[in-house]
Amino acid sequence: MARMSADAVPRRATPRQTAATGGDIDPRARPGDDVNGHTRRRAAPGKAPQSGRRAGAGNAAAGGGASAGVPAAFLQARPPGAADDGDTAADTDARTWVYRHASGAIVEGLLWPGLRLPSARELSRCWGVARGAVDQALKRLAREGLLERRVGRGSFVARRLPPGMVREVSGRAALAHRPGVALHALAPLLRLGRQPAVGGQDGDAALPPGEGATAPAAGGAPAAPRMLWLNPRVPDTALFPLAAWRRCLGAAHAEADRASLCYGLPGGWPALREATARHLALTRAIECRPEQVLILNGPLQALDLVVRVLLEPGDSVVVERPGYMSIARTVGLPPLDLRGAPVDDDGLDVEAARRECARPSLVYLHPLNQYPTGARLSAARRTALLAWVEACRAWVIEGDHLGEVVHDGAVPPALMRAGTRDDGQVLFLGTFNGLMFPGLRLSYLVVPPRLVPAFTAVRGLFGDHPPLAPQQALAAFMGGGHLGTHLRRMREVYRTRRNAVLAAAQRHLPAEVRLGPLLGGTHGCLHLPAGCDDEPLVQGLAAAGFGVEMLSPYFWPQRGTGGVVFGYGADDEQRIDASLRLAGAHIRQALRLPGDGGLKRAGAAAGAGAGAPAAGRRPGPPVAPGRG
């Protein structure tokens, strides 16, 4: 399938509507039906249709031959009216049925690119149709680009399907029909999120710190979650105006208006889309219409939607290294080509990304508060990035987490500010979870105007819409000025805590450790000397009550340099000083260093320059973990 470039609105077909298949398709067909609307019969594992003199000689259950790996649902289907004793239908009807059945299986993703099909003789035996009808149908599929027929080797599903075909032929289909192969390919990605759990236990190691199950207290009742030190994923929920939120949420459930009990629109609650557009205009200088904003459950759902609509098998995707693991889990499945580009204190290295992949289909980055390094894309690299993607007509996903919180100076404008016209190539992905509270689970995706119909239509195919009541409450919360007031307060609080980190790091951390940029947001990174393993260090910190993370797993597919990813959003100044003093002791022990020394920082990039606090007097003994 040809790559969907940024100068063409993607056209997607479905089993209910496919121009390339020829003939009419029953509009009542369900996802589990074939292209004629007949329910496909699925056999139990190890079972396969048997008919003819050499029944089952080449089917998937045989474990070998040309049919090995071909889904049983494809082989077991029978044309309407065909008898179970092997009688064949009329040639014309059989040829039409074979054509529609095979093309529908390719379009739906039941047959994936590169799969070798059984011979025409084996297919005729499986389906109970004449071999000539199968031959004619396969030839037509080859002419239309759905199959590749290789002399002496057989027929294969085309690796590059014609434009307009459904792209349900990615790793999701492979995972359903070839789980062993798909899971083997996934193995490096599934290891990305494994961080040492508190106390060295591995049960919840794949979960973000603080999101695992809590141990039961005496009497079997769940214990209250333990407050982890320097957790990079948790904001200060104690400062959230819960009373105002409770009033807004109660109004959404008012007896007079029961709209919140109904299904929502694919794009989200209209009032929230309008409020989000106003919020982005004020905080990120993005001028967009409400219909460009899609309300989603989380960033991962937005990434999955982008992959479904814009990408094709074999497309190249450039992502940050180190960077968020969620994009790797979404687009890192075969047959997409995932490329990592290095990140330094100036953000994504655009020249290195260009050398890695000259003409990508998509670039995904966080230009403001990059996770996990905290870097910000410099002005020069910003200009180079926009020029590069415009030249190669690539899409850009601009990820944004707590972009409204910048500690010094004005908030830089978003990349999408230059990409909101009709031919824009930038999609803006943001979330309310960090600014409000993680349990909200509301994010948004802003798409260029010409992509609105495609994204809205595909979004409507999936029923996992956010509940309406939180959307209505958030729209009222924003409209009443509560979010703006909360944002102004949190900017002051987080700036003060950032300054506390700079002062405590200067006092307590060894000079061999470099503190990365702390220009915005609520997280940062301590970079260890080359060759230092961060796993035992983070395990020791976790056992002491810290919620920090290793840096090295964010360098996929191989682990990279060591470091400690930390946060300061949920810790006040006293806890920050005490925790960094204790962390410094752990680091010196891990690095076998003497017990003193100031921190080696990245110059002005680490903080506010003249606004950074000077090192004050040394505080008293560290507070025991968990007592603040």
Boundaries of every domain in the chain: 19-169, 241-481, 485-611
Q: Note whether 341 and 356 are within 8 A (CB).
A: yes
Instruction: Give the mean pLDDT of 367-374.
Output: 94
pLDDT at residue number 595: 55
Between 197 and 240, name the one with better pLDDT. 240
Beta bridge partners of 216: 222
Rounded CA-CA distance 62/121 in Å is 16
Taking alpha carbons only, the member of 307, 274, 309 closest to residue 293 is 274
Residue reference for tokens 């080449």: 58
Check for a shared fold between 19-169 and 485-611: no
Between 114 and 530, name the one with better pLDDT. 530
For 366, the token pair is 């966080």
Name the strands in the sheet holding 563-567, side by side, starting at the edge strand that comes first in the sequence: 549-550, 563-567, 523-527, 514-515, 600-601
At residue 312, what is the residue type?
E
CATH of domain 19-169: 1.10.10.10
* Dihedral (Cα; 130, 135, 136, 142), 10-degree rounding: 150
At residue 25, what is the residue type?
I
Reported as a single tens digit per residue, the pLDDT across 73-97 is 788 888 876 544 444 445 668 888 9
E-only strand ranges, 465-545: 514-515, 523-527
pLDDT at residue number 326: 63
pLDDT at 271 exceeding the cut of 70: yes
pLDDT at 51 exceeding the cut of 80: no
pLDDT at 133 exceeding the cut of 80: yes
Instruction: Give the mean pLDDT of 366-371.
Output: 94
DSSP 8: S
DSSP alpha helix (H) spans, 218-336: 242-252, 270-283, 299-310, 326-331
For 373, the token pair is 């390094």
Confidence of residue 146 (pLDDT cuts 50, 70, 90): confident
Q: Note whether 39 and 32 are within 8 A (CB).
A: yes
Phi, psi values for residue 446, rounded to 5°: -105, 125
Q: Which helix (H) or strand (E) holds 52?
A: none
Tell me the range of 15-29, 149-163, 168-182 where mean pLDDT is highest: 149-163
Beta bridge partners of 170: none
Q: Note whether 425 and 389 are within 8 A (CB).
A: yes
At residue 466, what is the residue type?
P
Helix axes 242-252, 468-479, angle to 10 degrees: 130
Instruction: Give the mean pLDDT of 287-305.
Output: 92
Look at phi and psi of residue 396 and say left if phi exceeds 0, alpha if psi is from -120 to 50, else beta: beta
Q: Note whether 151 and 100 are within 8 A (CB).
A: no
pLDDT at residue number 272: 96
May I ask the CATH class of domain 485-611? alpha beta
Name residues whose C-beta falls within 8 Å of residue 251's C-beta, 6 or more positions apart in sequence.
472, 473, 476
At residue 330, what is the residue type?
T
Instruction: Give the mean pLDDT of 345-357.
Output: 95
pLDDT at residue number 6: 56
Look at phi and psi of residue 8 and say left if phi exceeds 0, alpha if psi is from -120 to 50, else beta: beta
Q: What is the DSSP string of 606-625?
A: GS-GGGSPPP----SSPPPT
Rounded CA-CA distance 555/16 in Å is 42
DSSP alpha helix (H) spans, 311-451: 326-331, 350-356, 379-392
pLDDT at residue number 68: 57
Q: Note whether 318 and 353 are within 8 A (CB).
A: yes
Instruction: Give the mean pLDDT of 561-576.
Output: 94
CA atoms within 13 A on the CB side of 75: 31
What's the whole-model pTM score?
0.64
Rounded CA-CA distance 595/510 in Å is 8
Fold (CATH) for 241-481: Aspartate Aminotransferase; domain 2 (3.40.640)
Rounded CA-CA distance 497/577 in Å is 10
Reported as a single tens digit per residue, the pLDDT across 504-531 is 999 999 999 999 999 999 999 999 999 8
Between 563 and 618, name the one with better pLDDT. 563
At residue 493, what is the residue type?
V
Taking alpha carbons only, the member of 310, 315, 313 closest to residue 450 is 310
Name residues whose C-beta falls within 8 Å of residue 395's C-beta, 6 or more positions apart in sequence.
6, 306, 310, 361, 362, 363, 389, 425, 426, 427
Mean pLDDT of the chain: 75
Local structure of 417: helix, strand or coil: helix
pLDDT at residue number 83: 46
pLDDT at residue number 432: 94
Confidence of residue 45 (pLDDT cuts 50, 70, 90): very low
